[in-house]
Chains A and B, each alone.
Chain A
């Protein structure tokens, strides 16, 4: 019996009325783009005014490219911390525009205003330019986006700020033909920030007509001083053991440097010289630092050919449940070799954690509830594909699970290991384009009857018993042909 639920309460309200352009008006839209390597954070603030009483659903629009890149989306009312329920409108996305309905906390009266903050994280949005860089050269990336924030409503004033992590911006697009919206310079740069706008009086733009007429791409070419890491494939398996009171988590990580590919060859001499003068090249990944949960033990880090000895772990003891602490076991990983642009490195990382830290037992229903994080976030890194396998104890029944966001696919299978007789139920989940914001827990609940707990000791005892019984019998059988 498998019941799927999603933690993000995708309220299945039947209120799927087509957005009417006259239900809201945007008094101001400000989009802030924080440029990065693998991840680009985009925060858009909509100051909206209801044009009719009883408005509850506000709709935002994402363009074609933006739609593909956005892997995390969260809407809030400004100043509040609770995210608002959002619903993808699948039906209306044929014209390359994705419409997302945001349900406001309360119904708005006529001319009432609300500030909605839409936070998105884009992945695979930047690319290295030039595509190849030698060991001494700097790393520069290009980011491309649309000039206008699309909205199904009329927008009074709109601006876009693009913040680069360093002030050295090589180039940025100066948009043309903006006489309809502004008379000033269409773009200004100050320090590390490039501002497009303000542009005034933009009509409802979430339609093909506006896009073909006014929308234009904006490209910014900037220096990036940190490596661009990417995880093409991550496999996590979490194994729950009640006998060992243990939650084992093992990650198989394939790490890739998505920065500019190394031009020419790697010279150890230059690498050592740079390290000596503390001028390491920006696009080298010398190592990564991970925040693992507290209370872990038996941490292991190996790759296909054995243990990697170059890592350091500072473990902290378990913290009591519900305690508000930010304690982590810090693991500093160093790959076998510095990962230059375009190089790969795959490794396995695993640890044991006390089960009590992440599991609890519900007395009333007799169910165990276990919390398993989707993945351990690697800072500023995107995980392209993730496969999460949660292996439950042998004999677990009534398995239910809740994911913090919908998986690409999910399935159940039977995993047989360590003296199992009937195998253990396992949940397999696939995700894609995970960012640091996705490192949220999956909740699994199940029932393990006492008979299932006792199955393994019984099986082992039976095996030994039968061996002894066999020995007992064979000792007493005389197979000699010539009896003396």
Chain B
């Protein structure tokens, strides 16, 4: 057989397979290394620090777990959160993440390796990303072969869509959840292929781990039943499906109910009903199969019809009935917002106010996936080509995840693995086709060729022929497309020579290289900022760290009494609890809308109205974020409208959003700002003495590019307690009631030596008359 390039012929199959397996291990090790290394930008550029907001809570909980043990953590009631309500932490968290870190921590300490718990938390996500790469390799191997698996592992290792959630320091549930997701899917596919109860149980165990780790487990809960349902509808019911699904569902559901936060949800909420329904359906179908093998075909058809209709009706009726009877909880608000993107804004502003719950903008698909996004459909099409059971899974997964990723930014994360898998399948098919050295036999070409020099002619024509022995899906498609265009060509269609191969391979490698560059760039620039620490550059080009948040939190921690209650908008709740170690009113676990609305009301109403609220909640300090001096746009004035909206949801008579706009409908902070705006506590605290900083010159708010009034707001009920170096965090102390029983406003006026206005002009006028 002719080849395009010489191939070694004296290798024994054992040598080839051994070498291939060694190369695979080396490649996987390198991919793991690359996956971990590319997530370390944040540590190298900044430091080993926990990022953002939610990770601070996870970190704090992990510290409790590491210090006091698992049972203490399980029963942990945190009186400092949601003051004065408190929070039952053990029963309201997904403990998988903390437990993982705790196990690693205890293991290392048992080996006398005193690694700090913070470093374990910081490095957990990169470590698990290496495992994700391995799990994706295993999964893709089931789809196509090892080479596709390696490509998929490499893709998921460095793709920004996954890195965005798993850089070092991003200590969040997603850090371990994607590994669990992929590994559960792998076990499911394996169980389905082999009909193995062992792999079904493994899938259930990892499903349980996933339930314990991330609320996104619902995705698995619905993906696997959906796959099962589609297989049944396609008439692909087998006993393998029955074994795999039943073992997964029974063990998985029972074990998932052991997580306190999940509890009885798997049998009582709508999100979990699909899994139960498919489980029931499988039993029916299996029973039907059994009956069919025992009765005649005519009887069976009648029996089947009646049985299917009645059970279907009964099942649906039972579901509706139980929902109405409130035995089954209806869909939650978060779930509705997946179908109607405007739902959250109308009904649950807290959910809508979170930036990662917004619909995805299209450039972010390219930003997060780069060239994978256009290889992805090709991979899905290739799946249709073979359409084995596992390919159906990938197709369903691709469709569902694409929809969800379009609805919510954060769900891009669930799309990323399937994009990597499908792209890897496509890419590896391409490489398989063009790296294959086989060329058609000369005689065949001569026999079919009509021109004088057939080899040259066919080389020039560059057409692929339907090769029986290639059996490659990609080749088939190319061939099909070619033959559709040209009709029945007598020439043998194949890839001839080195130049054609090189042209494609070099281009493909170029795409890979650009992908690596893009991933590195996106990771280092967009996804590696801890957001607790801001970076800027000095005039000489060196890095300057703006550390105002920690400055303020550390000040609170060191110089205020330990019981001082700090009020701030809920975004900063976890950070205050984690870094300042002080009780907070509200935090990022937004479970109590009224409490958050109370804070929103206090922030958006005038001092006189807010003061009783503050005093009733024992607030000692109020913390606001103000970016006007530095141009930090994520500050509280920019978030202010959400506070107003959330407060309005609870007190529509007292707080109205339109009052905070100018009559022209603009959101202003300068002279033209509306009265409600100017009198609100938030505005006053943000701009208190801000204009004085400019020494009489125009005081410009650099975020909103507006000039604030020269005479700034005055505060009667609060005292400025601390302002950070760049004025980003401002802390105010709430005054205690006046000892002489005056209201604080007049007491303040008296202290400043202002005369009290005479308050009896009416009576004097009457005397004149």
Asked if A265 meets B719 with Cβ closer than 8 Å, knowing A305-B550, A306-B47, A418-B112, the reply is: yes
Q: Which A residue's beta carbon lies closest to that of B49? A: A306
Q: Which A residue's beta carbon lies closest to that of B544? A: A309
The complex places the Cα of A307 from the Cα of B116 at a distance, in Å, of 14
A269 to chain B, nearest CB (A): 5
Asked if A417 meets B114 with Cβ closer than 8 Å, knowing A266-B721, A306-B49, A309-B547, the reply is: yes
Is B551 located at the chain interface by the 8 A CB criterion? yes
Is B446 located at the chain interface by the 8 A CB criterion? no
Is A470 located at the chain interface by the 8 A CB criterion? no
Q: Which of B114, B693, B720 sits near A418, CB closer than 8 Å?
A: B114
Asked if A336 meets B693 with Cβ closer than 8 Å, knowing A265-B719, A265-B720, A307-B47, the reply is: no
Cross-chain contact A418 with B545 (CB below 8 angstroms): no
Cross-chain contact A419 with B47 (CB below 8 angstroms): no
The stretch from B6-14, B554-562, B605-613 touching chain A is B554-562
B15 to chain A, nearest CB (A): 21
A414-452, CB under 8 A of B: which get 1 and which 0? Answer: 001111110000000000000000000000000000000
Of residues A305, A343, A418, which shows the largest number of chain B Cβ atoms within 10 Å of its Cβ? A305
Is A146 located at the chain interface by the 8 A CB criterion? no
A228 to chain B, nearest CB (A): 17
**What is the total of A-B residue contacts with beta carbons within 8 Å?**
73
Cross-chain contact A337 with B719 (CB below 8 angstroms): no
What residues of chain B lie closer than 8 Å to A14, measured between beta carbons? Answer: none
The complex places the Cα of A346 from the Cα of B720 at a distance, in Å, of 24
What residues of chain B lie closer than 8 Å to A474, measured between beta carbons? Answer: none
B20-36, CB under 8 A of A: which get 1 and which 0? Answer: 00000000000000000
Cross-chain contact B721 with A419 (CB below 8 angstroms): no
Q: Which B residue's beta carbon lies closest to that of A264? A: B719
Is B727 located at the chain interface by the 8 A CB criterion? yes
Q: Which B residue's beta carbon lies closest to that of A256? A: B558
A23-60, CB under 8 A of B: which get 1 and which 0? Answer: 00000000000000000000000000000000000000
B168 to chain A, nearest CB (A): 14
Is B44 located at the chain interface by the 8 A CB criterion? no
Is A345 located at the chain interface by the 8 A CB criterion? yes
Cross-chain contact A336 with B551 (CB below 8 angstroms): yes
Q: Which A residue's beta carbon lies closest to that of B727? A: A268
Is A267 located at the chain interface by the 8 A CB criterion? yes
The complex places the Cα of A389 from the Cα of B660 at a distance, in Å, of 60
Of residues A304, A345, A346, A419, which shows the largest number of chain B Cβ atoms within 10 Å of its Cβ? A304
Cross-chain contact B554 with A305 (CB below 8 angstroms): yes
Is A9 located at the chain interface by the 8 A CB criterion? no
Q: Which B residue's beta carbon lies closest to that of A419? A: B112
The complex places the Cα of A305 from the Cα of B689 at a distance, in Å, of 29
Of residues B555, B722, B724, which shows the largest number of chain A Cβ atoms within 10 Å of its Cβ? B555
Cross-chain contact A346 with B558 (CB below 8 angstroms): yes
What residues of chain A lie closer than 8 Å to B719, measured between beta carbons? Answer: 264-265
Is A344 located at the chain interface by the 8 A CB criterion? yes
Cross-chain contact B558 with A345 (CB below 8 angstroms): yes
What residues of chain A lie closer than 8 Å to B692, measured between beta carbons? Answer: 269
A316 to chain B, nearest CB (A): 22
The complex places the Cα of A272 from the Cα of B692 at a distance, in Å, of 11
Is B733 located at the chain interface by the 8 A CB criterion? yes
Cross-chain contact B112 with A336 (CB below 8 angstroms): no
Within 8 A of A (CB), among B20-67: 47-49
Is A332 located at the chain interface by the 8 A CB criterion? no
B556 to chain A, nearest CB (A): 10
Is A303 located at the chain interface by the 8 A CB criterion? yes
What residues of chain B lie closer than 8 Å to A266, measured between beta carbons? Answer: 720-723
Q: Which B residue's beta carbon lies closest to that of A267? A: B720
The complex places the Cα of A336 from the Cα of B47 at a distance, in Å, of 16
Cross-chain contact B723 with A336 (CB below 8 angstroms): no
Q: Which of B113, B545, B723 sits near A268, CB closer than 8 Å?
A: B723
Cross-chain contact A267 with B554 (CB below 8 angstroms): no
Asked if A267 meets B723 with Cβ closer than 8 Å, knowing A272-B693, A418-B114, the reply is: yes
The complex places the Cα of A343 from the Cα of B551 at a distance, in Å, of 14
Is B725 located at the chain interface by the 8 A CB criterion? yes
B706-736, CB under 8 A of A: which get 1 and which 0? Answer: 0000000000000111111101000001000
Cross-chain contact B559 with A344 (CB below 8 angstroms): yes
A313 to chain B, nearest CB (A): 15
A238-279, CB under 8 A of B: which get 1 and which 0? Answer: 000000000000000000000000001111110010000000
Cross-chain contact B558 with A344 (CB below 8 angstroms): yes
The complex places the Cα of A139 from the Cα of B588 at a distance, in Å, of 44
Is B325 located at the chain interface by the 8 A CB criterion? no
What residues of chain A lie closer than 8 Å to B112, measured between beta carbons? Answer: 416-421
What residues of chain B lie closer than 8 Å to A416, measured between beta carbons? Answer: 112
Within 8 A of B (CB), among A345-385: 345-346
A205 to chain B, nearest CB (A): 46
Cross-chain contact A337 with B47 (CB below 8 angstroms): no
Besides the contacts A272-B693, A345-B554, what 10 more A-B pairs have beta carbons closer than 8 Å?
Answer: A266-B720, A266-B721, A266-B722, A267-B689, A269-B723, A308-B547, A337-B724, A345-B558, A346-B558, A416-B112
Binding site for B on A (CB under 8 A): 264-269, 272, 303-310, 336-337, 343-346, 416-421
In the A-B complex, the 9 residue pairs with the smallest Cβ-Cβ separation, listed nearest first, are A268-B723, A307-B47, A309-B545, A336-B551, A305-B579, A344-B558, A306-B49, A336-B554, A265-B721
Binding site for A on B (CB under 8 A): 47-49, 111-114, 533, 545, 547, 550-551, 553-555, 557-559, 578-579, 689, 692-693, 719-725, 727, 733
A/B interface sample: 9 pairs, CB < 8 A: A266-B720, A266-B723, A269-B692, A306-B48, A309-B533, A336-B547, A337-B551, A337-B554, A343-B558
